[in-house]
């Protein structure tokens, strides 16, 4: 297999392992709470601790390692991730579990940044969007398969077992990367250059687009299951099937968006957010009926995952010769948007607005569309004859 195909494939598997860890514990909270003698809500802070580690620690780790050779850094980050999950697997107290989650999270944003950039270095420049989509699809597969399988394993063999499996998988992924990833020296940029790039106008606009756009999708997705059970009337079996459908749509949408971004990045960015706005506005009117609700879940999966490769491609376009910190901060913006959307959705649900979340989300998607126009320069006018 050509290196241009093998390297993104191994990076995708590595991202799958990292992505599975982020949301795995959410499905194991009752077991964790009972074993460590804390409440379920307290156990849920293990999810928050990971998210905070990504948002705060990601840029700091990226800055600290900006001059480290890329291959060695990739292997080191996977080993750090494995160490954090090993701590979780043997945690005898809630405090130790939180420490393990934070340790694992420190590698998250930096590794994803490195994986995205490493994939673009082994393909032709006009294939960058496809490479980003292929690597990023590891998160879609993690949601589609990794988290459900991990939860099933945890219910059968104890909540610690999935974390032990993640340790093995992370070390195996590190071994595979050691074999296939070419040596890539760090870019000859200074920390000052990286910070200056992040503070550039267009990069900041892309980061803002990312945060607002992900807030739009998170507002609905966070409360998708309560809407489908409480409004549509689906049972547990149907809900599981619908989540699989959502994940499959996400995988297809991300890969398709990567290819489209290689052809026309501006059209793909704007088309994605315009389509999201229409779909989200229609969601409140589709969810009361089974057929339209199923279609809405599928389309949500396709369009929500399409945002990842197009926004990361947009960051790389504007970051120039110092893109590392910019990509890392944009990864953090995804998490900030998810947290903000969840908080907004929670407030609306508390006020009795479960069915109408889509309208608020559509407004956010339109806002992201408007912001994106400032991030993408107009095509230059043709020269006069």
Q: Look up tokens 């490769």; give the residue.
A: 309
Instruction: Look up residue 264 and give its two tokens.
Output: 């026309």
Which has the higher per-residue pLDDT, 94 or 4? 94
Average of per-residue pLDDT across 368-379: 77
Question: Which pLDDT score is estimated for 306?
Answer: 85
Contact by Cβ (8 Å): 203, 315: yes
High-pLDDT (> 70) share of the chain, %: 95
* CATH number assigned to the domain comprising residue 326: 1.20.1250.20
Q: What span, in angstroms and rounded, lies between the C-alpha atoms of 13 and 36? A: 31
CA triplet 316, 277, 378: central angle to 5 degrees?
A: 40
Residue 378 pLDDT more than 60?
no
- Please give the structure tokens belonging to residue 153: 């394993």
C-alpha to C-alpha distance for 131 and 128, rounded to whole angstroms: 5
Instruction: Give pLDDT, residue 3.
Output: 57
Q: 383: pLDDT confidence band, cut at 50, 70 and 90?
A: very low
379 DSSP 8-state letter: P
- DSSP state, 276? H
Domain boundary among 121, 153, 186: 186
DSSP string covering 284-300, please?
A: HHHTTSHHHHHHHHHHH
Q: Is residue 385 part of a domain?
A: no
Are 235 and 131 found together in one domain? no
The CA R_g of the chain, rounded to the nearest whole Å, is: 20
Domain's final residue, options 186, 202, 236: 186
- Write out pLDDT tens, residues 265-309: 888 889 999 999 999 999 999 999 999 999 999 999 899 888 888
- 65 Cα distance to chain centroid: 22
CA 19/CA 36 separation, integer angstroms? 24
Task: Express each pLDDT in 50-106 by its tens digit.
Answer: 888 888 888 888 888 877 887 889 899 999 999 999 999 999 899 999 999 999 999
* Whether pLDDT at 381 is above 50: no
Last residue of a domain, one of 121, 151, 186: 186
Q: How far is CA 126 from CA 119, 130, 258, 260, 293, in A?
A: 13, 9, 11, 11, 37
pLDDT of residue 24 exceeding 70: yes
Supply the range of the domain harboring residue 283: 192-375
- Please check whether residues 197 and 310 belong to one and the same domain: yes
Does position 360 have pLDDT exceeding 90, yes or no?
yes
Q: What's the structural domain count of the chain?
A: 2
**Residue 147 resides in a domain:** yes
Instruction: Of 201-210, 217-226, 238-247, give the range with the top mean pLDDT.
Output: 201-210
pLDDT in tens, 136-169: 778 778 877 787 788 788 888 889 999 999 999 9
pLDDT of residue 166: 94
CB 270 within 8 A of CB 373: yes
What percentage of the chain reaches a pLDDT higher than 90?
29
For the chain, list the strands marked E by DSSP.
none
Say yes or no: 196 and 182 in one domain: no
pLDDT band, residue 380 (cuts 50/70/90): very low
- Asked if 239 and 364 sit in the same domain, the reply is yes
Enumerate the H helices of 93-200 as residue ranges: 94-105, 108-121, 128-141, 147-157, 160-180, 191-198
pLDDT band at 379 (very low <50, low <70, confident <90, very high): very low
Examine residue 13 and state whether it is found in any structural domain, yes or no: yes
Residue 339, in any domain of the structure: yes
- Which spans in the chain are helix H? 3-24, 29-36, 40-43, 45-52, 58-64, 70-90, 94-105, 108-121, 128-141, 147-157, 160-180, 191-198, 201-221, 224-227, 236-263, 265-286, 290-319, 324-350, 357-375
Residues 63 and 150 in one domain: yes
pLDDT at residue 18 greater than cutoff 80: yes
Give the tokens for residue 176. 């595979």
Do residues 366 and 358 make contact, with C-beta atoms less than 8 angstroms apart?
no
Structure confidence at residue 343 (pLDDT):
81
């Amino acid at each position: 297999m050509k290196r241009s195909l093998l390297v993104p494939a191994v990076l995708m598997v590595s991202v799958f392992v990292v992505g599975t860890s982020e949301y795995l514990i959410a499905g194991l909270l009752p077991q964790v709470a009972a074993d460590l003698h804390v409440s379920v809500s307290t156990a849920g802070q293990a999810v928050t601790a990971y998210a905070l580690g990504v948002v705060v620690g990601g840029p700091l780790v990226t800055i600290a390692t900006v001059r480290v050779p890329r291959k060695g850094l990739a292997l080191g980050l996977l080993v750090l991730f494995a160490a954090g999950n090993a701590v979780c697997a043997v945690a005898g107290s809630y405090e130790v579990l939180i420490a393990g989650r934070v340790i694992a999270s420190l590698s998250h944003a930096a590794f994803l940044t490195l994986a995205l950039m490493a994939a673009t270095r082994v393909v032709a420049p006009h294939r960058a969007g496809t490479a980003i989509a292929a690597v990023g699809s590891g998160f879609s597969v993690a949601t589609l398969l990794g988290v459900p399988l991990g939860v099933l394993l945890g219910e059968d063999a104890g909540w610690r077992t999935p974390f032990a499996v993640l340790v093995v998988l992370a070390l195996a992924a590190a071994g595979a990367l050691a074999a296939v990833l070419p040596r890539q020296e760090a870019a000859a940029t200074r920390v000052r250059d990286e910070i200056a790039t992040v503070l550039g106008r267009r990069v900041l606009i892309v980061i803002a687009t990312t945060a607002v756009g992900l807030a739009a999708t998170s507002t609905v997705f966070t409360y998708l299951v309560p809407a489908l059970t409480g409004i549509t009337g689906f049972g547990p079996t149907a809900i599981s099937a619908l989540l699989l459908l959502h994940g499959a749509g996400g995988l297809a949408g991300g890969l398709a968006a990567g290819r489209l971004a290689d052809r026309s990045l501006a059209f793909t960015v704007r088309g994605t957010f315009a389509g999201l706005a229409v779909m989200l506005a229609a969601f409140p009117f589709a969810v009361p009926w089974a057929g339209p609700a199923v279609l809405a879940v599928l389309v949500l999966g396709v369009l929500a995952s399409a945002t990842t490769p197009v926004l990361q491609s947009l960051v790389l376009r504007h970051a120039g010769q110092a893109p590392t910190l910019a990509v890392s901060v944009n990864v953090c913006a995804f998490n900030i948007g998810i947290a903000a959307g969840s908080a907004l959705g929670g407030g609306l649900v508390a006020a009795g607005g479960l069915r109408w979340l889509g309208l608020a989300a559509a407004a956010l998607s339109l806002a992201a569309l408007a912001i994106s126009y400032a991030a993408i320069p107009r095509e230059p006018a043709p020269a006069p004859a």
